[in-house]
Amino acid sequence: MIDFSLSDEQKALQDMAHEFALKEMRPNAARYDRGDVFPEDVMTKAFEAGFLSCNIPTEYGGGGLGDLNTAIISEELAWGCAGMFTAMMASSLALTPIVLYGTDEQKKTFFAPFTKKMNFAAFCLTEREAGSDAAATKTRALRDGDHYVINGSKCFSTNGGIASLYIVFALTDPEKGVRGVSAIIVPRDTPGIIIGKEEDKMGHRASNTAEVTFEDVRVPVKNLLGKEGMGFIVAMKTLDKTRASVGAAGVGVARAALEHAVEYAKTRVQFNKPIALFQNTAFKIAQMAMEINAARHLVWHAAWLMDRGQPCGKESAMSKCFGSDVAMRTTIEALQIFGGYGYMRDYPMEKLMRDAKLLQIYEGTNEIQRLVISREVIGPIK
């Protein structure tokens, strides 16, 4: 049976996230977009509201939100400010490998700090020479008795400069290539972690992005997630699960742009009538509304599959790719409706357009999403 209505619990979650976005994120979004300061005040409130631990299972003190619920709140939080959303989402992304592959002991040990106070985690997969080609990782984690010794550099790591915990993908067996990659939990206070300069980004400026270098970083073997050599699968399964949240963020950013454009088009008078009465404007609005609805359905379908434990790699990639493309197209068209005002920083449109761009790039570029989708649709070729 298909049911498009949200349950009372889901509506309450949506309202709660919307209120938070409206009252705490939106009023501070421009300020943090312009400065180079991490929004600690807003994030402290996000922690208190449970957004920073919402994917930690309830038995370990978290919110235990399922995937559809996560998609619902992601749309609202990105509607509030995509940069702040990214700081929250990237931490959930980094905790997901522990949710999926952690032992009971690892979950108890490493989730506790996230449920007790504001903390952030960082997912360390990307390297300078291993971006889309994630399997080309060069970082090494060589075994020395009961420890791994990690050496290498990870770049564009969201929360890299502020994280208390890193999930590092490194070669434990360089001879085996992609099957020699392992996922290792690395606490920030381990000696040998060097934080590079914070990246000066075009958008999502409220989030921290930095290079993280590991120089002879020794962590106990018990910090290994899953088995040795399973790291690439851990990364791929994690991304299969989290990419729908990026699609949801695309819907949130696009919806914000559409709402601003509608409001403006109804009050902006040119040639003696509101510009909403010109067919050019009205049709742009219709197109944006259609695409946003379609994107949300893709996101919710992917999340619905995840909640049922069904294969969702293709659907997750579709929702991420389509949702972020819709965010890009919608913000461009909405800005056009604002004309010259849209280009000015006093208005919200240019930030939304800058923020939309990153959604097409992070958690796997949209070219990679199309690769994932097409590989599954085409299947093996003899």
Indicate if the alpha-carbon torsion angle 61, 67, 68, 70 is positive or negative. Answer: positive
First to last CA, the chain: 37
CA Rg, the chain, in Å?
21
Question: Where does this chain bind ligand COS (CB under 6 A)?
Answer: 123, 125-126, 132-135, 178-179, 232-233, 236-237, 239-240, 313, 362-364, 368, 371-372
Closest CA to 251 of 303, 193, 199: 303
- The residues that are catalytic are 363
322 vs 362, beta carbon nearer ligand COS: 362
* Nearest-angstrom CA–CA distance, 210 and 196: 6
Q: Please state the closest distance from residue 372 (CB atom) to ligand COS, in A.
A: 5
Indicate if the alpha-carbon torsion angle 355, 48, 238, 1 is positive or negative. Answer: negative
**DSSP letter assigned to residue 7:** P
Residue pair 161/124 in contact (Cβ under 8 Å)? The answer is no
Residue pair 152/190 in contact (Cβ under 8 Å)? The answer is no
Q: Which neighbouring-strand residues pair with 225? A: 183
Q: Which neighbouring-strand residues pair with 157? A: 210
6 vs 178, beta carbon nearer ligand COS: 178
306 vs 335, beta carbon nearer ligand COS: 306
210 vs 265, beta carbon nearer ligand COS: 210
How many CB atoms sit inside 10 A of residue 271's CB? 7
How would you classify the pairing of strands 147-158 and 193-198? unpaired
Q: Please state the closest distance from residue 376 (CB atom) to ligand COS, in A.
A: 9
Q: Please state the closest distance from residue 5 (CB atom) to ligand COS, in A.
A: 31
How many CB atoms sit inside 10 A of residue 103's CB? 13
Q: Please state the closest distance from residue 236 (CB atom) to ligand COS, in A.
A: 4
* 3-class SS of residue 121: strand
285 vs 303, beta carbon nearer ligand COS: 303
* Nearest-angstrom CA–CA distance, 87 and 208: 7
78: buried, middle or exposed (CB in 10 Å: 19+, 13-18, 0-12)? buried
Q: Please state the closest distance from residue 70 (CB atom) to ligand COS, in A.
A: 17
* Nearest-angstrom CA–CA distance, 76 and 27: 15
88 vs 265, beta carbon nearer ligand COS: 88
Q: Please state the closest distance from residue 369 (CB atom) to ligand COS, in A.
A: 9
Residue pair 298/71 in contact (Cβ under 8 Å)? The answer is no
60 vs 362, beta carbon nearer ligand COS: 362
Indicate if the alpha-carbon torsion angle 294, 296, 302, 304 is positive or negative. Answer: negative
Q: Please state the closest distance from residue 93 (CB atom) to ligand COS, in A.
A: 7
* 3-class SS of residue 209: strand
* Nearest-angstrom CA–CA distance, 120 and 160: 9
62 vs 160, beta carbon nearer ligand COS: 160
Q: Please state the closest distance from residue 241 (CB atom) to ligand COS, in A.
A: 10
